[in-house]
Structure 1
Amino acid sequence: MYCRFAKRVVFLIALGSLGFLEQPSAAQEQINIDAFQMTFEENFDKLDVSAWGENGSRWIAHTPWNGDFGDARFTDPADGFPFTVDEGILRIEARKGSDGNWRSGLLASTNAKGQGFSQQFGYFEARMKLPPGKGVWPAFWLIGIDRSKYTAEIDVMEYYGRVPYEFSSGFHIWRQSQGGENTTGGHWTTVKDGTLSNEYHTYGVEISPDKTTIYLDRKSIWSFETPKEFHTSFYPLVNLALGSGWPIDETPNPSFLLVDYIHVYQRKPVGSAD
């Protein structure tokens, strides 16, 4: 999501041409959450957010590098929009205004100065209910904190409302802006049509020194060898974008992404007591 091509379809076609979309899924292994200890707990009983981290807020409402993407502008938080919390559920709203422009919301746990929460290795997880409708483009993703030589990105899940029976996961190492070549890979997960917008599901990734594994409802769906560039701290982002290269003329107005929680864990030391 770091580069966010104006036409996401170009990216998807590129993945297919490189053979990345047909990689075999990991065996359906259940993650043992008891082997982890929580290091970041956001249950959205309240929301501590500001535009850019004013007064040390837990979340900012933009990407730290101030890069918008998609067809809805990410907006500063205001009373009732684009974020509301109710009974432990965060609602991110995308709305078309009277001026004809769409606006929506994004949360990042690190500000432009690198202040905030990030972690090297561990398990990152969000529990969400996705919006229905063509043109919606919600995502839960991670960015490496050090972007001086490249940008490391893990897309735990990206959902395209035009295809309600699947979502994509991917990884990227963006080096082109520093004169290198990008590395990218991805995987599609097929689900029962409509279930992602009718029910809550958990989307997670464990990054370990040797292997990175994507999880749906804490069952593994895809693994790849951890690049050396992922031996860094990552911070989580969640957003409701629109478009991704697809029309938004039929997108429901408003649309809502519901987030129950975002949790991060580290593996307990081997032999440690529960």
Structure 2
Amino acid sequence: MAPDARLLTPHTPAAYDVVFTADFASERQWVAGRSWAYPGGGPVNPGDDKLDFLVPDAAYSRSGVFRATRRADGLWNTGLLTTEGSEEGFLLRSGDVLEARVRLPRETGAWPAVWTWRDGDQEIDVFEYHPDHPDLLEFSNHVRASGSYVRDRGVRPGAEIGLRTEFGARSVVWWVDGRRVFADHRGVGRGWHAYLIVNLSVCAGRYHPAPDPETTEMSYEVSELVVRRPVYGAGAPPGGPAAGSR
């Protein structure tokens, strides 16, 4: 049911428009194999306990299946896509809602994530997962130093789950399979905006176990990812509460 227009304030969404539908094969939407979230744009990030060696090879990310394969030097070729530096340059904004469907990896050492980044900061983790904690998801708001570990009966290696994150100015809210599981009550502020990153990292062993010696490949899948943006009632400032951000 649509909201009663008489009850709308400038900060009450009347509806949500889809403003981004992920097409991982699109080079206009996504850049593959580099990110300024990694030192120098990559390809490695050992300081974050990662064995990653980012590669632009389409087979590692462009199908929506994010892969990692062992290299002879002990690192792993890994798949990463980001909207930062792409032709479209899509930015999430305060008030946006991201929905995704993912299939979790099975292999020890796999570290899948959907997250945001801009100018060395602005990181919100839609989710992180480690199969050594098979029923646990990690949610973090690094913008305002909050987060949570959430156990869920539907979370396990190889499971397909639905994720929803509301990037509220006053509270970031996370949902799993239609259930609200955590609200941080800190939010991102009205002017927040950030690029999207989707990737599969590999743990080096400091925080979570490194891959088993016999493991040579791992993967996880993002089959859907959309972003919805609020449409505000009469009297709202142009662009809604995130006016001035892209």
Q: 2:140 aligns with which of 154, 163, 170?
A: 170
1:39 aligns with 2:19: yes
1:126 aligns with 2:100: yes
The alpha carbon displacement at 1:63 in A equals: 1.8
Segments of 5+ residues of structure 1 without an aligned counterpart are: 1-33, 50-55, 174-182
Q: 2:157 aligns with which of 164, 187, 197?
A: 197
1:237-270 Cα offsets, whole Å, 9 max, x none, are: 1111111622324173210111102211112324
1:257 aligns with 2:220: yes
How many pairs were matched up?
210
Q: Determine the structure 1 residue equivalent to 2:76.
A: 102
Q: 2:54 aligns with which of 62, 66, 75?
A: 75
Secondary structure of 1:268's aligned partner: strand
Q: 1:191 to 1:253 in 2, by over 3 A?
A: farther
Q: What letter matches 2:212 in structure 1?
A: E
Q: Bigger CA drift: 65-74 or 248-257?
A: 65-74
The alpha carbon displacement at 1:129 in A equals: 0.4
CA contact (8 A) 1:152 1:229 kept: no
Q: Quote the Cα distance in structure 1 between the aligned partners of 2:201 and 2:190.
A: 25
Q: Quote the Cα distance in structure 1 between the aligned partners of 2:209 and 2:188.
A: 37
Q: Quote the Cα distance in structure 2 between the aligned partners of 1:216 and 1:142.
A: 18
Q: What letter matches 1:59 in structure 2?
A: V
Q: 1:120 to 1:199 in 2, by over 3 A?
A: same
Q: Determine the structure 2 residue equivalent to 1:177.
A: none
Q: Determine the structure 2 residue equivalent to 1:59.
A: 31
Q: Determine the structure 1 residue equivalent to 2:89.
A: 116
1:175-199 Cα offsets, whole Å, 9 max, x none, are: xxxxxxxx52221111237x44333
Aligned-residue RMSD, C-alpha: 2.7
Q: 1:102 to 1:228 in 2, by over 3 A?
A: closer
Q: Quote the Cα distance in structure 1 between the aligned partners of 2:153 and 2:223.
A: 21
Segments of 5+ residues of structure 2 without an aligned counterpart are: 1-13, 40-44, 235-246
Q: Determine the structure 2 residue equivalent to 1:140.
A: 114
Q: Bigger CA drift: 241-250 or 130-139?
A: 241-250
Q: Determine the structure 1 residue equivalent to 2:230.
A: 267
1:60-117 Cα offsets, whole Å, 9 max, x none, are: 422235433443324232253x2252xxxx11111112343312111111129x9600
The alpha carbon displacement at 1:57 in A equals: 5.5
Residues 18-29 of structure 1: pairs in structure 2 closer than 5 A: none
Q: 1:35 to 1:217 in 2, by over 3 A?
A: farther
Q: What letter matches 2:171 in structure 1?
A: K
CA contact (8 A) 1:74 1:106 kept: no
TM-score with structure 2 setting the length: 0.74
CA contact (8 A) 1:95 1:102 kept: yes
Q: 2:123 aligns with which of 153, 166, 184?
A: 153
Identity %: 20
Q: Determine the structure 2 residue equivalent to 1:180.
A: none
Q: 1:249 to 1:64 in 2, by over 3 A?
A: closer
Runs of 4+ in structure 1 off by over 4 angstroms are 227-230
Q: Determine the structure 1 residue equivalent to 2:210.
A: 248
